[in-house]
Amino acid sequence: MALARLAREYGNEPVLIRDIARDERIPQRFLENILLELKRQGWINSRLGKSGGYYLIREPREVCLSDIVRIFEGSIGMLCCVSEHSYQPCEFFKNEEECKIRKVFFELREASCRILSQKTLNDLI
């Protein structure tokens, strides 16, 4: 929600954290952590002073939702054995290729990746 707000304001003046928190109904302390992580990842920046606040660095149409999910969730795959970026072998089933559960969750991950990779912040605004 915070990124969508910054996307709506893209190209305008920076937005104060208290305004984002109030307008999007996000606890300010929680929002501070989110914005610091997004800044650390190079997605947003901040400016100090009277006209300060946070602003989106990238154009909203260039920010895929899959990248956002990966920043905060770590993986789109719901099981480690189907994760593309943080794969770990299944601890319960020796032959992953025969595992019916893995197959369903692999299909789910593929569909989620496809949809989230095609959608951007621009689609949210």
pLDDT in tens, 12-31: 999 999 999 999 999 999 99
Residues 120, 68 share a domain: yes
pLDDT exceeds 80 at position 95? no
Counting residues of the chain whose pLDDT is more than 90, the rounded percentage is 49
pLDDT band at 38 (very low <50, low <70, confident <90, very high): very high
Domain that holds residue 71: 63-124
User: What average pLDDT does this structure show over 48-52?
Assistant: 81
Residues 109, 74 share a domain: yes
Residues 67, 17 share a domain: no
What is the model's pLDDT at position 82? 80
User: What average pLDDT does this structure show over 60-89?
Assistant: 82
Residues 117, 85 share a domain: yes
The 3 state secondary structure assigned to the chain is CHHHHHHHCCCCCCECHHHHHHHHCCCHHHHHHHHHHHHHCCCEEEECCCCCEEEECCCHHHCEHHHHHHHHHCCCCCCHHHCCCCCCCCCCCCCHHHCHHHHHHHHHHHHHHHHHHHCEHHHHC
> How many structural domains comprise the chain?
2
Residues 112, 73 share a domain: yes
* Mean pLDDT rounded to a whole number for the chain: 87
Residues 71, 34 share a domain: no
What is the model's pLDDT at position 60? 95
CATH of the domain at 41: 1.10.10.10
pLDDT exceeds 80 at position 111? yes
